[in-house]
Structure 1
Amino acid sequence: MAFLELANLKKSFGNTQVVHDFNMQIEKGEFISFLGPSGCGKTTVLRMIAGFETPSAGRIAIGGKEQNSLKPNKRNIGMVFQAYALFPNMTVHDNVAFGLKVAGAQPTEIDQRVKEMLALIKLDHLADRYPYQLSGGQQQRVALARALAVRPQVLLLDEPLSALDAKIRVSLREEIRAIQQTLGITTVFVTHDQEEALSISDRIVVMNAGRADQIGTPFEIYNTPATRFVASFVGTLNMIEAKVVDPAANRIQIGDQGVTLKQSVAAFKAGDTVSLALRPEAGSLTEGTPSDTKLTGQVVSAHFLGSVIRTRMNVGGNVISFDMFNSPGVTPPAAGETVTLRFMAADLLVIRD
């Protein structure tokens, strides 16, 4: 039995259904990310787990115990909000201690637990400061320590890094993951940032219009997207339109160039149009690159992105981007130049709507 069970969850606001039949089994100690654009329902699911929203239908259980009828303060859940929500009139120590005091813990127990938490987030030297005396990253770590101090069964994080600058976000997400692994706490993390989700999650739920389009490991989500939405939302992707030539032999045609796919197109008929996905890093212009497929086209543009140069080429009306590593000794192809892109047929994925 999974530790956190979400079964057939639905949520409507008036006549608008924002979550449709959401199902997931989360194991104890797993780090799960809900990933998707604004308005996709990811925060609504999180708030239903916390008890701040009541499901219109469905069941939530933790450790086999149903949670639907329990108020938020009875669910033993820790939550970190996007806006930190620290008490401005309390010191760092008192903010972290707040939940323990409400729970009726003894003063000696509270002090010991606060010291443990502040040491865990490496802010024990700032125990007497007030929130206004802390940086954004430090405030977020205090909010995390406050949520963990009460020893919750589940930790919920609602876009906790969105208000921070890029460098602090990277370092803090690594700290959050390290703390989660140290404590072994079951964690659900909501984000719209694909890099965050891919870098720290055990599994990712890609949400679209109130539904889970795909649930899988970061490797699965990135390399084998299940739907057109997942393919386009996670990472940079080329979407290529092709015509099925011979379904039995998996032969398709991109412009006037034939390609044999590794993935089956037997469900299509000859003449059908099929959508294909290809990651920019999958292709190379270098002869001798391990490959079994190639496409020839004209360069449209080349953009310098630092460590890579992203080049765009036109193949039968499809503009395909591919990445070259930046090297001072290699000149990128010029616009109008004819080039041949080499890649493995297995990297060309059939995408179903």
Structure 2
Amino acid sequence: MSFLTLNNIQKSFGPVQVVKNFNMNIEKGEFVSFLGPSGCGKTTVLRMIAGFETPTGGTLSINGKDQSSLKPNQRNIGMVFQAYALFPNMTVHDNVAFGLKVAGASKPEIDARVKEMLGLIKLDHLADRFPYQMSGGQQQRVALARALAVKPQVLLLDEPLSALDAKIRVSLREEIRQIQQQLGITTVFVTHDQEEALSISDRIVVMNAGKADQIGSPFEIYNTPATRFVASFVGTLNLIEAKVVDPDANLIQIGDQQITLKQSVAAHKAGETISLALRPEAGSLSDTARSDTALTGQVVSAHFLGSVIRTRMNVGGNVISFDMFNSPGVTPPQAGETVTLRFMAADLLIIRD
């Protein structure tokens, strides 16, 4: 039995339906990320779990108990916001202790729990500081400790890293994941950053226009996107238009070049146009690369990205990007040069619209 269940959840603001028939079962101790662009409905789902928004339809339960009629303070949920939301007139100790005081815990219990939480986030030496005396990363750690101090059933994180610089974001997301695994707490994390979602999640919900386009592990989401939206939103992906030549033989044509897919095209008719996806890292110009398929085209551009060089080539009107490792002894191809990209046919996936 799942721990957090969302059954046919819907939410409308006036005539606009922002969440459409959303269903998901989240297991106890699971870390699930809601990933998608602004306005896709991911934060609205989070706010409905927290009780800040009331679903227009559907039910929501935690540990088998319906939460629909409960107020936020009755759900035993911890929440960390993007903007820290610390009390500026309170010390770190008092911020973390706030929820415990509201719950009526004794002073010895509060002091012991605060000490435990500050040790967990490695800020016990800053207990007497005020928020303005701390960095953004430190403030967000305090906000996390405050949310965890009350021993919530579920931890909700609403884009908690978006206000931080890149280096701090990486270290803090790893720390959040480590703490979550250590405590075994069920966690829902909202982000628009695909790298964040891919790096720390057990499962990812890719949301688009109020619905889940795909739910799966980071490996599944990245390597086998279910829709054109997921394919284009998660990672860098080449979307290639091809024409079906022989459905029974899985033979297709890209520009004037024919190749055989591993994936069946029997559901399509000869002459029909289909969309294919290919990751930039799947291709190579090397003659010795592991491959069973090749496409020849003309180089459009090559961009130096540090450890890799991202090259773009034109194949029958499709601009295909591929990555090659930066090596001082290898000169990258130049614009206008004809090259052959080699890859495995199994890496070329059919994408449904």
TM over 0.5: yes
1:164-218 deviation digits (Å, cap 9, x = unpaired)? 0000000000000000000000000000000000000000000000000000000
Cα distance, 1:90 vs structure 2: 0.2
* TM-score, normalised relative to structure 2: 1.00
Q: Does 1:126 align with 2:134?
A: no
Q: Distance in 1 between matches of 2:190 and 2:62?
A: 19
Q: Distance in 2 between matches of 1:214 and 1:313?
A: 30
Q: Distance in 1 between matches of 2:269 and 2:22?
A: 34
Aligned ranges 1:140-179 → 2 under 5 Å:
140-179=140-179
Q: Tell me how many residue pairs correspond in the alignment.
A: 353
* TM-score, normalised relative to structure 1: 1.00
1:300-324 deviation digits (Å, cap 9, x = unpaired)? 1100000000001111111100000
Q: Distance in 2 between matches of 1:71 and 1:290?
A: 57
Q: Does 1:278 align with 2:278?
A: yes
Cα distance, 1:270 vs structure 2: 0.1
Q: Distance in 2 between matches of 1:352 and 1:248?
A: 19
Partner residue in 2 for 1:334:
334
Partner residue in 2 for 1:61:
61
Partner residue in 1 for 2:49:
49
Partner residue in 2 for 1:190:
190
Aligned ranges 1:258-337 → 2 under 5 Å:
258-337=258-337
Q: Distance in 2 between matches of 1:65 and 1:248?
A: 51
Partner residue in 2 for 1:34:
34
Q: Distance in 2 between matches of 1:336 and 1:55?
A: 56
1:212-257 deviation digits (Å, cap 9, x = unpaired)? 0000000000000000000000000101000000001110000010
Partner residue in 2 for 1:17:
17
Cα distance, 1:160 vs structure 2: 0.1
Q: Distance in 2 between matches of 1:108 and 1:319?
A: 65
Unaligned runs of 5+ in 1: none
Aligned ranges 1:245-256 → 2 under 5 Å:
245-256=245-256
Letter in 2 for 1:116: E
Unaligned runs of 5+ in 2: none
Q: Distance in 2 between matches of 1:2 and 1:265?
A: 37
Q: Distance in 1 between matches of 2:313 and 2:17?
A: 42
Partner residue in 1 for 2:71:
71
Partner residue in 2 for 1:230:
230
Partner residue in 2 for 1:2:
2
1:42-80 deviation digits (Å, cap 9, x = unpaired)? 000000000000000011100000000100000000000
Partner residue in 1 for 2:243:
243
1:244-273 deviation digits (Å, cap 9, x = unpaired)? 000011100000100100111111100000
Cα distance, 1:288 vs structure 2: 1.4
Letter in 2 for 1:159: E
Q: Distance in 1 between matches of 2:240 and 2:117?
A: 51
SS across alignment from 1:226: coil
Cα distance, 1:133 vs structure 2: 0.3
Segments of 4+ moved more than 4 angstroms: none
Q: Distance in 1 between matches of 2:36 and 2:306?
A: 27
Q: Does 1:115 align with 2:82?
A: no
Q: Distance in 2 between matches of 1:88 and 1:263?
A: 58
Q: Distance in 2 between matches of 1:191 and 1:172?
A: 14
1:293-352 deviation digits (Å, cap 9, x = unpaired)? 000011111000000000011111111000000000000011111100000000000000
Q: Distance in 1 between matches of 2:227 and 2:341?
A: 25
